[in-house]
Amino acid sequence: MKRKRVGVLISGRGSNMQALVAASRKADCPYEVVLVASDKPDAAGLAWATEQGVATFALLPRGIGKAAYEAQMLAALTEARVDVVALAGYMRLLSEDFVDALRGRIVNIHPSLLPKYKGLDTHARAIAAGDTMAGCSVHVVTEELDAGEILGQVAIPVLDDDDADALAARVLVAEHALYPSVLAEFTSR
Ligand code: GRF
CA-proximal residue: ligand 1, atom 8 (nearest)? 89
Q: What 3-state class would DSSP assign to 141?
A: coil
Q: Would residue 123 show up in a list of annotated catalytic residues for this protein?
A: no
Q: What angle do CA 99, 106, 30 make, to 5 degrees?
A: 150
Q: Residue 108: how many CA atoms within 13 Å on its side-chain side?
A: 25
- Residues whose CB is less than 8 angstroms from the CB of residue 66 and which lie 6 or more positions away in sequence, other chains included: 95
Q: Decide: pTM greater than 0.85.
A: yes
CATH of the domain at 67: 3.40.50.170
Q: Determine the distance from the C-alpha atom of residue 26 to the mean position of all C-alpha atoms in its chain, rounded to a whole number.
A: 20
Among 39, 46, 109, 136, say which to mutate for ligand 1: greatest number of ligand atoms within 8 Å of CB: 109
Residue with CA nearest ligand 1 atom 14: 15
Q: How big is the chain by its Cα radius of gyration, in Å?
A: 16
Task: Please give the residue range of the domain that contains residue 155.
Answer: 4-187
Ligand 1 binding site (Cβ under 6 Å of any ligand atom) = 10, 12-16, 88-89, 109-111, 136, 172, 175
Number of domain units in the chain:
1
Instruction: Give pLDDT, residue 1.
Output: 78
Band of residue 81 on the pLDDT scale cut at 50, 70, 90: very high
Going by pLDDT thresholds of 50, 70 and 90, the confidence category of residue 108 is very high
Give tens-digit pLDDT for 13-72: 999 999 999 999 999 999 999 999 999 999 999 999 999 999 999 999 999 999 999 999
The answer to whether the CB of 89 falls within 8 A of the CB of 8 is no
